């Protein structure tokens, strides 16, 4: 088994914990101002983008496919910067930007999962993450006037699910890496 992605389990765990923190923030404080929500989103996505780019570089160093990780990292980085530099954009514009981001990110997660299916079992977690992300984007596009409170809850609940699934995958990868190291030492 190629272990380049397994070595980066901590990056997936970090992204998962960041998503959980954002989800809790949005679910517990749904009445916050749009600018605050966009700022929190911007910070979370910017850090996720940086971590995604680092993971792609590390996977690439192991001569494994890293294109989907790199593209997602760059997209996250750009959306994070945009959110931090223009938090005063209208709610409607941000709704569609976040929706588009969710659809593209979900598709990229599913593409990454398809690439990983030969390397690890449990790629269904990334496929599920991708499907949930894409569904979130589509729902936000179909229900643009649902209101800020609903949007905060929807993104918060999604972020919690996404984070928990990433942490679960990270734990699984860490276990596989440890098992691989034990098997290598036994020989």
pLDDT for the residue numbered 59:
83
For residue range 108-166, list pLDDT tens digits in order.
888 888 877 777 776 788 888 889 889 988 888 887 766 556 777 888 898 999 999 99
The full 3-state SS of the chain, as one line of letters, equals CCCHHHHCHHHHHHHHHHHHHHHHHHHHCCCCCHHHHHHHHHHHHHHHHHHHHHHHHHHHHCCCCCHHHHHHHHHHHHHHHHHHHCCCCCHHHHHHHHHHHHHHHHHHHHHHHHHHCCCCCCCHHHHHHHHHHHHHHHHHHHCCCCCHHHHHHHHHHHHHHHHHHHHHHHHHHHHHHHHHHHHHHHC
For residue range 49-63, list pLDDT tens digits in order.
999 899 888 887 777
Give the domain 4-186 fold. 1.25.40
Domain chopping of the chain, boundaries: 4-186
pLDDT for the residue numbered 1:
41
């Amino acid at each position: 088994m190629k272990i380049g992605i397994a070595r980066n389990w901590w990056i997936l765990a970090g992204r998962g914990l960041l998503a959980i923190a954002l989800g809790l923030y949005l679910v517990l404080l749904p009445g916050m101002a749009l600018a605050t929500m966009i700022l929190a989103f911007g910070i979370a996505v910017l850090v996720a983008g940086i971590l995604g780019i680092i993971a792609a570089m590390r996977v690439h160093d192991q001569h494994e496919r890293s294109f989907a990780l790199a593209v997602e990292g760059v997209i996250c980085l750009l959306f994070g910067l945009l959110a931090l530099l223009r938090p005063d954009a209208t709610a409607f514009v941000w709704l569609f930007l976040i929706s588009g981001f969710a659809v593209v990110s979900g598709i990229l997660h599913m593409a990454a999962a398809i690439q990983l299916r030969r390397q690890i079992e449990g790629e269904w977690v990334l496929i599920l993450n991708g499907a949930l992300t894409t569904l979130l984007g589509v729902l936000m596009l179909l229900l643009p006037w649902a209101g800020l409170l609903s949007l905060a809850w929807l993104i918060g609940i999604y972020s919690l699910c996404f984070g928990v699934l990433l942490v679960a995958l990270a734990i699984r990868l860490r276990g596989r890496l440890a098992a691989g190291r034990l098997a290598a030492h036994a020989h």
